[in-house]
Structure 1
């Protein structure tokens, strides 16, 4: 199993990063909570990974912290939660926020996540209640780059002509309905904001910390 990858960040888009390591380019699926902490293109990046093999596909999932990766591994053990949904959960909530939801039995925040209905949220609270103890004491690195911290992670920008359109498309790709995505972006949009900033604020408003 591929447990970690370190190399040069060649490309980054919401949901995926391309990392070059020893001449090979690895396409890594990432949650938004990891995307927000990627370094600039051309810099070195380290991601904790989980390799998923299925009959019709092989996917490499990457995470900024070991804690997020290990939570992902616990989530996919929950009945009805596959890798795509687990990555979606970690796009809306990082590991620490998810743990707080489980400990506080906060079903309201969970059902706001795309793809998580009431029954799935209830199942997550029940099945994860005992499992999150396995995550205690795990180190959470500051960022996926070689320097910096979560609080001063670089503001990333896209090259799209319309940041609001790209931010809306990113939320739809994550699983939100077009109407929900449009409302969320309109609510936080201000002149001059980057797509990354719009996505971050929209998710923060849709899923309170």
Structure 2
């Protein structure tokens, strides 16, 4: 099991990081909440990881905090929740935010996440209510200390000729359907807005803060 990687960040895109360690380059799938915390390229990075092996694929998932990684491992044990959905959940909510949602029994916050329907949200609330106790002893910041994705999108640093296309591509990478991404961006797009501003406002309207 590969549980932690420390190396040089070679590339980063929404959803994936390439980290060089001891001459090897590891392609690591990451949620947005981790992407927002990555350092600049060529800087040292530490990611807590989960190595998943299936018959048709081997995937390495990385997280900025051990708490997020441990929550990911609990999420994929829930019936109907695979790694892709777990990454989507942790792209919209970090571990501390997710725990508060479960404690508040807030199904409406979960159904705003890509791929999470009403039945899945209810199942998550029931099954995770018993499991989040396994995370006791790990630091869980208060709401004042937790940074919501909509507040840190400005750190993405994506620049290009078409901010609207970049914003839509980022939302699709997060797991939203193309039609949802296009509608969300069109709803708030104004002349002169950067991709960072578009993503920040679109996420603010699509996922809980």
TM-score where L is the length of structure 1: 0.88
> Is 1:52–2:55 an aligned residue pair?
no
Structure 1 contact 36–196 (Cα < 8 Å) conserved = no
Q: Distance in 1 between matches of 2:123 and 2:169?
A: 29
Gap runs ≥5 in structure 2: none
CA offsets per residue over residues 117-139 of structure 1, 9 Å max, x none?
Answer: 11111100000001111112313
Deviations 1:30-60 (A, max 9, x none): 0011111111111111111000000100000
Q: How does 1:174-193 map to 2 (within 5 A)?
A: 174-189=174-189, 193=193
Q: Deviations over 1:48-89 (max 9, x none)?
A: 100000010000000011111000000000001011110011
Structure 2 residue 40 is matched with structure 1 residue 40 = yes
Instruction: Flag the 1:178–1:27 CA change in 2: closer, same or farther, 3 A.
Output: same
Counterpart of 1:73 in structure 2 is: 73
Aligned equivalent of 2:166? 166
Tell whether 2:11 aligns with 1:31: no
After superposition, the Cα gap between the structure-2 partners of 1:159 and 1:45, relative to the gap in structure 1 and judged at 3 Å, is same
Asked whether the 8 Å contact 1:17–1:30 carries over to 2, the reply is yes
| 8 Å Cα contact 2:92/2:208 also seen in 1 | no
**Alpha-carbon distance between aligned partners in 2 of 1:191 and 1:19, rounded to the nearest angstrom:** 37
Mapped to 2, the partners of 1:157 and 1:168 lie a distance apart of 15
Deviations 1:81-134 (A, max 9, x none): 011110011011111111111111111111111111111111000000011111
Paired residue secondary structure (1:77): coil
Evaluate the alpha carbon distance shift between residue 183 and residue 79 of structure 1 in structure 2; reply closer, same or farther with a 3 A threshold: same
Alignment match, 2:203 = 203
For structure 1, which runs of at least 5 residues remain unmatched after alignment?
A: 142-148
CA contact (8 A) 2:159 2:195 kept: no
1:197: Cα distance to partner? Answer: 4.5
- Structure-2-length-normalised TM-score: 0.88
